[in-house]
Amino acid sequence: MTINNYYTELMQDIHARAGAEQNFTEAEFTERICDFLVDQATIENYTLATYKNSPRGIRVDAWDYNEDTEALSLFVTDFRFNNDIETLSSAEVTRNFRRIEKYFNESLNINFLAALEESAPGYELAREIYDKNRSKAISRVNFFLLSNAQLSSRISAIDRDEVEGYDCRYDIWDISRLFRIESSGKAREDIVIDFQEFVSEGIPCLPAFTGSEEFASYLLVMPGEIVADLYDKYGERLLEQNVRTFLQFRGKVNKGIRNTIQNEPEMFFAYNNGLTATAEQVQTDGSRSRIQSVTNLQIVNGGQTTASIFTANKKNRTDLRQVYVQVKLTVIQPEKVEAVVPRISEYANTQNKVSAADFFSNHPFHLRIENLSRRLWAPSPYGGLRETHWFYERARGQYANAQANLTAAKQKEFLSKNPRIQMFTKTDLAKFEYSLDMQPHIVSLGAQKNFAKFASEVGQKWEKNERQFNELYFQHIIAKAILFRFLDKSIMKQSWYGGYKANIIAYSLAKLAHMISETGKSLNLTQIWKDQALTPALELQLLGVAEVVNQHIQNTPEGITNVTEWCKRELCWKKLQEISIPLNRDLEVGLLESNEIDLSEKDAKKIQKIDNGIFAQKYVIEKGTEYWKQVALFGLQGKFLSEKEMGILQVACDIPRKIPTEKQSVIIVKIEEKLEDEGLFTDGLAS
């Protein structure tokens, strides 16, 4: 795919989502790129808030505030309606950043705030900036320029600056940068850390390998100041490989760690377990005694340590000059990250077992949803003839990679079967599920936090009974996606709409689910899957609920002026449940009795059990005799298996002379999982 093809596809998608009106198109582009930045872990969350005052040269389109880092992010959009890619010049870059800087400057002044109507776009953000400035709760301001134009090659970088005494950083996301990442097939833009910027010759290290091993490892001692600076610069991007680490970082800062930093900093190295980290590439000096740079550093264990050091430095202004952290750094090739990093996380964390909660994209849950999404054809809506897939992007870049080497004709065929509007990601899935699961306050925390909670819960459910994740479950996911995306497309066109779309969607779906649950019945999700659309009665009901939700979330209680923060509180959800909204009679007639749902789910689990046997048999046969002989040898040498298990495994060792049954194949797969916990792959006896 060329950049021109990418631009055309992006513009068509945005126009299709926004409809005919240009102001919606611009907002849709802002939302699309902000969603992308959330996926990139560049920002934690965002709120759309378009405010323009052209005569005064002031503008802002979205914002985010990260409580952990006390970083305020402000976004300005430069959107072009041309069919061809335009150039973003140096003068235009400067002008756009000046507009958003001026908004920030003006918001520090009470007169600007007083001149705005409370219902006006931009008021809440101005109030947020004014209040946080007074309470000294802003440590840094990030200015983002989002554009579908192509940045002039004459612009190499935007230097850091100060605005009204605040440390400010500038970032441009233009069409070429978006295309470069999306077409690379990588989940994230590379992080390249040059340690020579901190220490002239790099950080001293001790190679913990001979040079012949598949994975190179290093032991090093990192100054606490560098740990704090790295998190300050890269944030959650250093943690995104590991849900456990993400959740761990979100917890309360460990008091013992904090007290050591403040009172006995020279003892920090002795008391703390340090960090376990990975990287895709490490550059050392000639003697391998100093690490000069690393590519795609990830902290897979040590979230609390990272949080405590950063917080002590940035919030408590604690001197870190005597704080040093031990780091075990392992170099892992990109294609092996998903297989190896979960095990490093598990073995490095001795407090409790890490299993499904880490929820990497190669977790069986994701693999099953991916398989179902490629296998199941969604019925054609309104009696049409063309069936399609809902494409689950288990790992970022899969959708683009699937089209990468196709001819124009084949790409057109692929898109007709897998329309972009029906592609969804892991974080999308979590939003669909938790919105209808009546947890809108969790969804409102942002895509990453919501996914972390969802991952932990589903991981536990998988271990308890994986058969509940079946074809029916997938069909219901898609029904929830249709509900979610109907509101996503419709809300901005309502006369009452004034912002907070993401919160309104989550709360509206949760409220609908709560209203239906009070009848003792259930929404017919299977019918929505079959129709691939909502009934007029359901659409009307959702928009009516959304209007009530809009009024509710903006009616913040005394002491809370920030709507987005109010939506993150469970009390906001509890108060909404108290508001009575009548159910549409036509909608109520189509609801299902609970026993009908129970029977459907029971049947779906039975079918999944059969499918598991078929897939297990296919997996065992495809692995082949030699593979299973290695597995059997490992089990025999370690005395990990019973005589019965060895007997069943021997059947796989005799393929194709003997073919294991479906029941035997399921047991063989479980034997493999058992031996994996004993180090089957890490010991190199099987591959």
Q: How far is CA 40 from CA 88, 153, 186, 187, in A?
A: 23, 24, 11, 8
Res 240: pLDDT: 61
Residue 618 lies in a domain: yes
In a domain, 358, yes or no: no
Last residue within a domain, chosen from 316, 351, 386: 351
Q: Mean pLDDT over residues 71-94, rounded?
A: 94
DSSP 390: -
Let me know if residue 596 belongs to a domain: no
Per residue in 193-204, pLDDT (tens digit) is 999 999 989 999
pLDDT at 343: 67
Note the pLDDT of residue 304.
Answer: 77
Same domain, 392 and 482: yes
Candidates 17, 155, 37; CA nearest to 96 is 155
Q: Quick check: 642 pLDDT over 80?
A: yes
Co-location of 198 and 340 in the same domain: yes
177 and 197 housed in the same domain = no
Q: Residue 543 and residue 505: Cα distance in Å, rounded? A: 10
Angle, helices 501-517 vs 471-490, to 10°: value is 130
Supply the range of the domain harboring residue 75.
Answer: 3-184
277 and 228 inside one domain: yes
Q: What is the pLDDT of residues 460-473, one digit of tens each?
A: 898 888 888 988 89
Amino acid at 515: M
Which of 291, 322, 351 is the last residue before a domain boundary?
A: 351
Tell me whether the omega of the peptide bond preceding residue 656 falls within 30 degrees of 0, making it cis.
yes
More confident residue, 384 or 612: 612
Same domain for 313 and 211: yes
> How large is the average pLDDT for residues 100-110?
94
Does residue 290 have a pLDDT over 60? yes
Number of domains into which the chain is organized: 4
Answer whether residue 162 is part of any domain.
Answer: yes
Please give the model's pTM, rounded to 2 decimal places.
0.75
Query: Which of 71-75, 171-175, 344-348 has the lowest average pLDDT?
Result: 344-348
Task: Please list, residue by residue across 286-321, b when 16 or more beta carbons sit within 10 angstroms of its beta carbon and e when fewer do.
Answer: eeeebbbbbebbbbbbbbbbbbbbbbbbbeeebebe
Last residue of a domain, one of 563, 590, 617: 590
- Residue whose tokens read 């040590």: 302
pLDDT digits (tens, 9 = 90+) for 497-540: 988 999 999 999 999 999 999 999 999 999 999 999 999 999 99
Residue 425: beta bridge partners? 393
Whole-number pLDDT of residue 681: 59
Give residue 553's pLDDT: 95
Same domain, 322 and 439: no
Residues 412 and 525 in one domain: yes
306 with 289, same domain?
Answer: yes
Residue 392 is predicted with a pLDDT of 95
Q: How confident is the model at residue 686 (pLDDT cuts 50, 70, 90)?
A: very low
Based on the fold, state whether residues 537 and 614 are members of the same structural domain: no
Do 155 and 51 fall within a single domain?
yes
pLDDT tens track for 610-639: 777 788 888 888 888 989 988 888 888 888
Residues 331 and 387 in one domain: no
Distance CA 650, CA 53 (A): 76
Q: In the beta sheet, which residues pair with residue 593?
A: 521
Please state, in angstroms and rounded to a whole number, the distance separating the CA atoms of residues 194 and 207.
Answer: 19
- Domain membership flag for residue 656: yes
Q: What is the pLDDT of residue 352?
A: 41
Specify the CATH number for the domain of residue 47.
Answer: 3.40.1350
Give a yes or no: residue 139 inside a domain.
yes
CB contact at 8 A, 441 and 453:
no
- Assess whether pLDDT exceeds 80 at residue 148: yes
